[in-house]
Structure 1
């Protein structure tokens, strides 16, 4: 499995013949030139995870790619003339490799802000992208996309999430809001379970496992 990060929460996962792009959002760059995608996945409708304006050209350049999103995002995209297949927790997709769907709801930002749908994707039975949630699937997670900082996230919650899943490798995602993300990375590295390696993947760089 090969993971390439495109800033913030956007990750390209290559597993066998599958090339899956997750969360092509407004804080991410470089994914626009990708071709040969087999699927595009969006965890939820927030623009830092789903850039509607750049999604159309991306899909046009990847005509074989199927677009899967949570139900809320599918409705938003339909208004822009983009067809997406809405998925629910418990589903399994076959896009050249397996993608299991978990989650259901976005983490609470504030009680006055409505909670929207958010799904998490476990790709190839190995890499979990939780979107904006602390979803804990009922399976072991080998590689975790670890949310680093967000309006809905407190560092202690992310550490507890990391310890609950105890992945072999944790790759920080959702860091674009930070001026100095290394401060958070150092804390996560110190507080991670002994079994977990924190691996920082710079924009445009890859991790292979």
Structure 2
């Protein structure tokens, strides 16, 4: 399995059987010319996770690709057909098995801000994109965790505790574009993460094996 990080929450996962693009949002770039996609998966409705104009362009360039979102996001994507999914669903996308996991809610930013829906996506049981929540993978062992690094809802201590709880073999930091110096948080993950977890920070737009 290979992944390519396009900044923030946008990641291309190539399983060998399927090419899956996650969260093509406003803080990400370089994904716009991708082809051969089997699916585009959106964790939730926030603009840094889904850019409707660029998603529409991707779907025109990838007419066989499925667009998968939560129900709330689908309602906001005017003129774009989306397949809705919720935690508990299992999706077959181009030969990859994707389980929708989590509580179904975005992490709390502030009690006065209503929670929105959030899907975590577990690919072939080995790679987890949690979206904007501390989503448990639902299994004892996980090969790769895409770990949110900086956000209005996130404390680095909580992210470290989440990393420790999941204890993946590899951790790839994502959701970093809100930070002036993401490398500072990466150092916390590296020094405070669980024994047996390896930190992997790919160059933007470069595919790496996981």
TM-score range, shorter chain: over 0.9
- 1:137 and 1:124 map into 2 onto residues whose CA distance is 12
* Aligned twin of 2:106: 106
Within 5 Å, give how 1:169-208 maps onto structure 2.
169-208=170-209
Q: How does 1:157-172 map to 2 (within 5 A)?
A: 157-172=158-173
| Structure 1 residue matching 2:79: 3-state secondary structure | coil
Question: How many residues are paired up?
Answer: 207
Number of the residue aligned with 1:33: 33
Once residues 149 and 178 of structure 1 are traced to their aligned partners in structure 2, the CA distance between those partners, rounded to angstroms, is: 6
Equivalent pair of 1:132/1:147 in contact (CA under 8 Å): yes
- 2:80 maps to 82
Point out where structure 2 has 5 or more consecutive residues left out of the alignment: none
Contact preservation (8 Å) 1:39, 1:65:
yes
The answer (yes or no) to whether the contact 1:7–1:202 under 8 Å persists in 2 is no
Does the aligned pair in 2 maintain the 1:172–1:201 contact within 8 Å? Answer: no
Does the 8 Å CA contact 1:10/1:21 hold for their aligned counterparts?
A: yes
Structure 2 partner of 1:141: 142
Runs of at least 4 residues of structure 1 off by over 4 A? none
Specify the alignment match of 2:72 in structure 1. 72
1:107–1:133 CA contact under 8 A, matched in 2? yes
- CA shift at 1:188, angstroms? 1.0
Work out the CA distance in 2 between the residues paired with 1:187 and 1:137.
Answer: 22
- Cα distance in 2 between the residues matched to 1:69 and 1:18: 18
For the Cα contact (< 8 Å) 2:132–2:148, is it kept in 1? yes
Indicate the residue corresponding to 1:92 in structure 2. Answer: 90
**Aligned positions of 1:49-60 closer than 5 A:** 49-60=49-60
Q: Secondary structure at the match of 1:116?
A: coil
1:142 deviates by: 1.3
Q: Give the Cα separation in 1 of the matches to 2:147 and 2:137.
A: 14
Question: How large is the Cα RMSD of the aligned pairs?
Answer: 0.8
TM-superposition CA deviations, 1:98-134 (whole Å, max 9, x none):
0010011000000000000000000121110000000
CA offsets per residue over residues 132-179 of structure 1, 9 Å max, x none? 000113213210000001000001100000000000000000001111
